């Protein structure tokens, strides 16, 4: 057992001391109870790459109540977490937020109060670190808001998808928002441009989706008979002949749901490098579309604490608006 008298002891809501050369012990409080150990470590070890966090978990250097645990362990109230010495490389420390530097996502805030933070996530940003990405949106926001006692993702968006991303600032809010999503009490609307002449004004799609892993280790999703049900209602917003602008109302929220459903129907999302049409994407890049045309435009829900109705809106990004105008011009040429 670790000799606690030789270690520094802190509450889980407090940041790790600047001197990371000694073992530290953290007592889990109400704000962190129920959280996965890997997410807990990512919160207190600000600026430390996720790959290093998983390494110290696998090695057994992280202990909970003097016992080894894996990354999926969920913390309990009053658990004692042992965190080993962390040696920060020069490269890692220099990447932290510098005094006076403007916060990266401050201008993207759509809504914020004591319970929630909602941002309009730009395309190209992963929501969390991993798979070669040392810091995603959640890690960056925790770095910028080092005094925040609690900050967790409510849901995820693909790296190349822009738009509404919700985060909880209280555990009670996180639980309430998860319950609302699980019970279909949120209305999420996406905008996407697809390749093909979509003619139906309204189409309800329900397909079984199954996750699988490529030999390279990359995760994918396919329509398979034994997969999970995925349901979406699609609305035709505008037809450009070769392309169609659709609005999607999510009924379920499966991984890559919209991308896989539309590709299966023969209407791949423009710029989708996983499930789209490679030749079409290449041609569209030359015409100015440098990203996937998928945007989380609007989410309507009840506030997790007050119960008031919230309508969160993220306008279509400038680069996507510009491309639509170009399509409009080309269609009437």
- 97 inside domain: no
CATH of the domain at 162: 3.30.70.580
- 99 pLDDT exceeds 50? no
Of 148, 172, 196, the domain-final residue: 172
- 240 inside domain: yes
- 91 inside domain: no
Of 172, 194, 229, the domain-final residue: 172
**42/123 same-domain check:** no
State the pLDDT confidence band at 44, using cuts at 50, 70 and 90: confident
pLDDT digits (tens, 9 = 90+) for 230-284: 999 999 999 998 999 999 999 999 999 999 999 999 999 999 999 999 999 999 9
**299/200 same-domain check:** yes
pLDDT digits (tens, 9 = 90+) for 51-66: 788 888 888 889 999 8
pTM: 0.71
Please count the CA atoms within 13 angstroms of the CA of 248 that sit on its side-chain side: 25
pLDDT for 222 equals 94
Please answer whether residues 246 and 191 qualify as being in contact, where contact means their C-beta atoms are separated by less than 8 angstroms.
yes
**118/69 same-domain check:** no
**76/41 same-domain check:** yes
Query: Greater confidence, 64 or 17?
Result: 64
**124/59 same-domain check:** no
CATH of the domain at 190: 3.30.2350.10
**73/152 same-domain check:** no
Count the neighbouring beta carbons within 10 Å of the beta carbon of residue 106. 10
**318/262 same-domain check:** yes
Record the tokens describing residue 147, joined without a space.
């005094």
Residue 229 annotated as catalytic: no
251: left (phi over 0), alpha (psi -120 to 50) or beta: alpha
Q: Which of 120, 158, 272, 277 is catalytic?
A: 158
Please answer whether residues 308 and 302 qualify as being in contact, where contact means their C-beta atoms are separated by less than 8 angstroms.
yes
The residue ranges of DSSP E strands in 22-113, in sequence order, are: 24-27, 63-64, 67-68, 80-83, 109-112
- 180 inside domain: no
pLDDT for 60 equals 87
**203/68 same-domain check:** no
Residues 114, 169: Cα–Cα separation, whole Å: 7
Record the tokens describing residue 293, joined without a space.
């045309």
The parent domain of residue 259 ranges over 185-331
Domain count, the chain: 3
**49/149 same-domain check:** no
Record the tokens describing residue 235, joined without a space.
């609305």
- 98 pLDDT exceeds 50? no
- 173 pLDDT exceeds 60? yes
Q: Which of 181, 175, 172, 167 is nearest to 301 (CA)?
A: 181
- 250 inside domain: yes
Listed as own residue / partner, the contacts of 322-331 with beta carbons closer than 8 Å and 24 or more positions apart are 322/288, 323/193, 323/287, 323/288, 323/289, 323/293, 324/193, 324/238, 324/245, 326/287, 326/288, 327/240, 327/243, 328/240, 330/240, 331/240, 331/241
- 266 inside domain: yes
**69/126 same-domain check:** no
pLDDT for 87 equals 64
Please list the residues that pair with 247 across neighbouring strands: 191, 235
- 33 pLDDT exceeds 90? no
Of 124, 143, 172, the domain-final residue: 172
**200/319 same-domain check:** yes
- 328 pLDDT exceeds 50? yes
- 109 inside domain: yes
Overall average pLDDT of the 25-35 stretch: 82
- 179 inside domain: no
- 13 pLDDT exceeds 80? no
**284/157 same-domain check:** no
């Amino acid at each position: 057992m670790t000799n606690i008298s030789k270690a520094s002891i802190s509450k889980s809501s407090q940041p790790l001391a600047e001197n990371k050369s000694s073992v530290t012990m953290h007592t889990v409080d109400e704000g962190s109870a129920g959280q996965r150990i890997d997410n807990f470590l990512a919160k207190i070890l600000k600026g430390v790459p996720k790959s290093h966090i998983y390494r110290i978990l696998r090695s057994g250097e992280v202990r909970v109540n003097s016992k080894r645990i894996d990354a999926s362990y969920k913390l309990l109230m009053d658990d004692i977490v042992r965190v080993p010495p962390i040696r920060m490389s020069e490269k890692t420390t220099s990447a932290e937020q510098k005094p006076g530097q403007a916060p990266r996502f401050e201008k993207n805030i759509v809504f914020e109060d004591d319970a929630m933070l909602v941002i309009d996530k730009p395309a190209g940003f992963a929501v969390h670190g991993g798979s070669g990405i040392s810091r995603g949106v959640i890690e960056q926001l925790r770095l910028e808001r080092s005094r925040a006692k609690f900050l967790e993702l409510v849901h995820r968006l693909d790296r190349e998808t822009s738009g509404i991303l919700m985060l909880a600032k209280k555990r009670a809010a996180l639980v309430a928002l998860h319950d609302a999503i699980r019970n279909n009490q949120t209305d999420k609307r996406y905008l996407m441009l697809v390749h093909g002449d979509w003619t139906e004004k309204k189409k309800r799609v329900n397909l079984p989706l199954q996750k699988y892993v490529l030999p390279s280790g990359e995760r994918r999703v396919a329509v398979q008979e034994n997969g999970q049900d995925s349901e979406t209602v699609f609305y035709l917003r505008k037809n450009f002949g070769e392309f169609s602008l659709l609005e999607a109302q999510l009924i379920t929220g499966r991984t890559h749901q919209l991308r896989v459903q539309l590709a299966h129907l023969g209407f791949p999302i423009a710029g989708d490098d996983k499930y789209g049409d490679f030749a079409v994407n290449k041609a569209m890049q030359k015409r100015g579309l440098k990203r996937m045309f998928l945007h989380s435009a609007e989410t309507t829900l009840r506030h997790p604490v007050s119960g008031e109705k919230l309508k969160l809106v993220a306008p279509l990004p400038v680069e996507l608006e510009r491309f639509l105008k170009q399509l409009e011009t080309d269609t009437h040429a």
